[in-house]
Amino acid sequence: MATVRGVVCLLVAVICLSCAAAAAARSPASRVHRHLKRLNKPAVKSIESPDGDIIDCVHISHQPAFDHPFLKNHTIQMRPNYHPDGLYDDSKSRATSTTGSERPMVQLWHQGGWCPEGTVPIRRTKRDDLLRASSMRRYGRKRHTAANPLSVDPNLLNEGGHQHAIAYVQGDKYYGAKATINVWAPKIEQPNEFSLSQLWILGGSFGEDLNSIEAGWQVSPDLYGDNNTRLFTYWTSDAYQATGCYNILCAGFVQINSEIAMGASIFPISSYSGSQYDIKIMIWKDPKEGNWWMQFGKDYVLGYWPSFLFSYLGDSASMIEWGGEVVNSQLDGVHTSTQMGSGHFPEEGFSKASYFKNIQVVDSTNNLKAPKGVGTFTEQSNCYDVQNGNNVDWGTYFYYGGPGRSSNCQ
């Protein structure tokens, strides 16, 4: 009898331990730990940035893209088959590289070193990054669609939505876009708000089937935990519902470059009536493989979004947008003071207002050309505005932005 009681007690103890272990595995701390482990891949080398970021140099074949089931046996395309004509013909623009063997510092983490060949630099996700998100499932994801200049619902202006000041083209088939984007550090009022400047490659409708590829710079305290200006990308194939993410916070974008980190701080930044700095971004569709490639500056082909991620963009884009976006959370019923661009209106001009210049599209013959029929759009021009133009030096350009809340913007 004593033996039976001992066996029963032992079984009860094992069951209790199993229950405790299962409960621990379901605890918030355990879920955070597992999510961090999925996001942060083993590093060959780690570099500490002056802004507190840790950049992990991860072997190219171990990056998050290969968590996607369709990419498990994917052979990495190490270079595009085609570049749009004119890609390297940037003699009128400020060069982004220096002569000789010295490499330019275009991101803050470069002050701490560089990643070796065969690796990709990935900004390490920290526990606090996850805890700031509304949920781990939503971490790294947008909550709003792109600007639809063809259909504006005035009710959205009073629902703490997103506001834009953009230039756009539509009505043709587009196979890419390019722009030189002035870089600033706009002030953000609320931690859950952001300000960004980017280009959008769009396909489908603005309903639940929107395909979008996006790249530019952003200030987002909620996503990054600070007010630094950072390079970013985004993609979605279902209007920001279940697919896609910022940077490489999910499986999707395949990075091949060892020098530029998605989500890392850009350096240096423009100042009002002072030095002006800009970045060049181009996204184009490789006509042979069908993948959408991204280039940063003149020297950095960063990687690609595989064509199978998309439905409409599997063929071409139907609209291109360039410009700024902010979140207006309408705290206490008043408009946010979060700035767009430099925080100044377009009419102030160079060194005071933010700009996009040399905006171009890629046509069906894989050539860069000036966009035709450029339109502009903003929900509230007394808060954020846009003014476009054209000249020999800047090609097709526009100034955009504004301060948000003011005596004219309530």
Contact criterion met (CB below 8 Å) for 122 and 277: no
Q: State the SS3 of the chain.
A: CHHHHHHHHHHHHHHHHHHHHHHHHCCHHHHHHHHHHHHCCCCCEEEECCCCCEEEEEEHHHCHHHHCHHHCCCCCCCCCCCCCECCCCCCCCCCCCCCCCCCCCCEHHHHHCCCCCCEEEEECCCHHHHHHCCCCCCCCCCCCCCCCCCCCCHHHHHCCCEEEEEEEEEEEEECEEEEEEECCCCCCCCCCCCEEEEEEEEECCCCCCCEEEEEEEEECHHHHCCCCCEEEEEEECCCCCCCCEECCCCCCCEECCCCCCECCEECCCCCCCCCCCEEEEEEEECCCCCCEEEEECCCEEEEEECHHHCCHHHCCEEEEEEEEEEECCCHHHCCCCCCECCCCCHHHCCCCCEEEEEEEEECCCCEEECCCCCEEEECCCCCCEEEEEEECCCEEEEEEEECCCECCEC
Q: Is 214 noted as a catalytic residue in this protein?
A: yes
Gyration radius of the chain over CA positions: 23
Choosing from 214, 259, 321, 379, the catalytic residue is 214
Q: Kindly compute the dihedral angle of the four CA atoms of residues 317, 215, 336, 143, in this order, to the nearest 10 degrees.
A: 70
Structure tokens given for 406: 């003011």
Query: Hey, how many other C-beta atoms are within 10 angstroms of the C-beta on 218?
Result: 24
Assess whether 208 carries a catalytic annotation.
no
- In sequence order, what are the residues at sequence separation of 6 or more whose Cβ sits closer than 8 angstroms to the Cβ of residue 72? 66
Annotated active-site residue in 189, 193, 259, 325? 325
Strands 292-296 vs 354-362: parallel, antiparallel or unpaired: unpaired
Catalytic residues: 214, 325
